[in-house]
Amino acid sequence: MSHPRGRPKDGALPLGGTARSDKGAQLSSDAHHEVVVRRLGQVDFQETWQAMQDFNCTRTEETTDEIWLLEHPPTFTLGLAGKTEHLLRDVGVPLVKTDRGGQITYHGPGQLIAYLLLDLNRRRLSVRELVRRLEQAAISLLSEYGIAAQRLQGAPGVYVAGAKIAALGLRIRRGCSSHGLALNVDMDLSPYAVINPCGYPGMPVTQMRDLVPESDLVGVSARLLAQLRTHLGEDHE
């Protein structure tokens, strides 16, 4: 069955799966900082990527920013300047070359993804500041679960005792962002063994469920959204 592509409307993305829109959600009281939140369930990577491209190609200065919360079926993705040599062997998981920054990573069920379709000029955000705030949102979320996470110099993302727990990759076009943050919550980590995660040979990875057994995707999703509202809001220092 084919799925029509295009910009999401009325709370449903044409990607298959179930979507819910929270149109009243806001990052601040300023009308220019409103955001539509879409909970999409598990959706195909390539169709979601196409939908992000369509959204940003058709948006105007008045288009409301959006955050899409979702999961993907098993998929390796490679950044714009990524090297295929970082896929060490074929295990039957599709590899998709994308337009985001960064090297290779893995997406699969149980990983929470937040795609951010933001007008950075309107929010007065630089790319570096957006990266910093996304990392901090994840660090603050993990702290709520008693997990001490930190940044790693020269390696974007979020780490726990040197193991990567959240990956970050963005595409900025005409001052607007796409792609975003992927947080390992409760997933099969074995596919990471056949890649150099984010281009780093031997980089260990971890997930919330291994650190806090009661972690669940629904609860983590709600808390991540709250942290994104806090750290992307206009008044955030």
What is the rounded CA–CA span in Å between residue 103 and residue 81?
7
20-22 and 150-152 beta bridge pairing: unpaired
Indicate the Cα dihedral angle 136, 114, 192, 165, nearest 10°. 20
What is the rounded CA–CA span in Å between residue 44 and residue 91?
19
Ramachandran angles phi, psi of 208, nearest 5°: -60, -40
75-78 and 95-97 beta bridge pairing: parallel
The CA-atom distances, in angstroms, between 187 and each of 35, 161, 174, 192, 200 are 28, 19, 35, 11, 21
The first and second tokens of residue 190, run together, are 């074995």
Name the maximum alpha-carbon separation found in the chain: 49
Ramachandran angles phi, psi of 109, nearest 5°: -55, 140
99 SS3 class: coil
Active site residue 57: no
Ramachandran quadrant class, 157 (left: phi over 0; alpha: psi -120 to 50; beta: rest):
left
Residue (of 46, 56, 48) closest to 13 by Cα position: 48
Catalytic residue among 138, 139, 198, 225: 198
The first and second tokens of residue 37, run together, are 């939140």
**Which residues participate in catalysis according to the annotation?**
198
